[in-house]
Structure 1
Amino acid sequence: MLIDMTHTITPEIPIYPGTPVPSLSPACTLTRDGFRETLLSFSSHTGTHMDAPAHLLQDGRTLDDMPMSQFSGRATVLDVSEAGPVITEAFLQSNYDAIHCADFILFYTGWEDRWGTERFLEDSFPVPDEAAARYLVSRGLKGVGTDAIGIDRIGDRHLPIHRVLLKDSVLILENLCLKKVRGRKDFLFFALPMKFQNTDGAPIRAFAELRESFEGERRRR
């Protein structure tokens, strides 16, 4: 079974303060041209998206320069909705069994339920502190994700957690849909970024493949 973990881009979606509002307008129409095309205009960090090291680092790598293997792997979703505003290294260590085999650690904060409302931009969602970020780097992960708008506080313009992760080429995924995989451990995860030149970040199509569902279906047959 495949589970979509991606928000749909619309002109009304929540955007990070200062980011251009997405625009989707008709470029061609059935009536006028005999076919439909849509003119898209939005930031590379719109909606469910991925940050590359080049987002913040002068010599950071871009997504278009990375192998496809960087965008998929085994994932674990940690429920941090009751963990408080700060995700600590101690909390992560207490979840070692769920973390040690993962390529991607995804934080369910509960902010997904606020999507489409002003409350989504309230700056109180759980985020890792720097010690927790360094611990995540030490695990050799491909990426760290969240269902909130950022892995740092909106008000922290230095973006310290971004910098710790991106310095070691740990990709950052934001605005994920995690409710359907809340608490899931060790499933196949795919986060495929739009490919364009010098990709500092890109909207992604993120999805989970839950293979036990296939096994159950085969047994029922």
Structure 2
Amino acid sequence: MNRKREFIDLSHPLDPNNISLWRTMPPFTCCPIATIEKDTFSIHTISMGTHTGTHVDAPCHFIQGGKSIDEIPIDVLHGPALLIDLTHKRAHESISWAEDLSPYAEQMQPGVILLLLTGWSRYWAKEGQEYFKHPYVEPSVAGKLLEHGIMVIGLDTPNPDVTGSGGHPFHEIFLGGGGYIVENLTNLEKLGSMKLMVNLLPINIVGSDGAPVRGVAWDEPEQK
């Protein structure tokens, strides 16, 4: 008997009244311009930055001449995933290769999507700035991941670098090596010991440096 496949939503809802936005980001708005009562149909206008909510960073976000969102191969952002639990990390604490990620090196193969669980999504849309005091990934990790064939990294934080520091070394190395970064994921703690498959495809916006994602994860049972 086949068991029902469970899907986990990895994207934060986009709600103008319940959202985390860094101070340099434009506000997110979703406003009706036609209603069923008045016009017999409903239409909204949306205004947002390309890095609002759960989204993909394309290489051209930091790399001159890098790929834009519409140039990302579809298959790169869809496939098996490796989840690493880093929920012991504290605010502003670094994530290193030697201490945190090297034990999983054998599982890092080309085509595998790396997901880092910090638990920081619990601060999404909360008062204060705790969400932006997240753990960060040491820049040297970017090169190690690329060496192991990891081309996509996803995090439940707004940034693999230190938000507000003025520097973006991990972005520059990883995107510069042809990688892609998915930020502001959620529900990673629900994935547990699943044999993970994920889909992190963004909206296909021509020429864009980033785009929203409706990320989904599911358990892919082994074939007998």
2:183 maps to amino acid: E
Whether 1:170 aligns to 2:179 is yes
Residue 92 of structure 2 corresponds to residue 87 of structure 1: no
Aligned residue for 2:39?
33
3-state secondary structure, aligned to 1:64: helix
1:76 correspondence with 2:86 = no
Note if contact 2:145-2:151 (Cα within 8 Å) is conserved in structure 1: no
1:1-221 pair list within 5 angstroms: 1-12=6-17, 13-83=19-89, 85-90=93-98, 91-100=100-109, 103-119=112-128, 121-177=130-186, 178-181=188-191, 183-184=192-193, 186-212=195-221
Number of positions where the alignment pairs a residue of Structure 1 with one of Structure 2:
213
Query: C-alpha separation between the residues in 2 aligned to 1:108 and 1:3?
Result: 14
What is the alpha-carbon distance in structure 2 between the residues aligned to residue 94 and residue 156 of structure 1? 29
Secondary structure (helix, strand or coil) at the match of 1:96 reads helix
SS in 2 for 1:118: coil
- Aligned-residue offset at 1:37: 0.9
Distance of 1:58 and 1:30 partners within structure 2: 45
Per the TM alignment, residue 211 of structure 1 is displaced from its structure 2 partner at its CA by: 2.3
Alpha-carbon separation, structure 2, partners of 1:17 and 1:161: 21
- Deviation track 1:8-66 (CA, whole Å, cap 9, x = no partner) reads 11113001221011000002100111011111110111100000001111111111012
- Taking the aligned partners of 1:203 and 1:112, their CA distance within structure 2 comes to 17
Structure 2: runs of 5 or more not aligned? 1-5
Q: What one-letter code is carried by the residue in structure 2 that aligns with 1:70?
A: V
Q: Distance in 2 between matches of 1:174 and 1:60?
A: 19
Q: In structure 2, how many angstroms separate the alpha carbons of the residues matched to 1:41 and 1:120?
A: 23
The answer for unaligned runs of 5 or more in structure 1 is: 216-221
TM-score by length of 2: 0.88
CA displacement 1:78-115 (0-9 Å, x = unmatched): 11121451111112112224434762111111111111
Q: 1:40 to 1:168 in 2, by over 3 A?
A: same
Shift of 1:130: 1.5
Structure with the largest fraction of helix? 1
> 2:3 is matched with which residue?
none
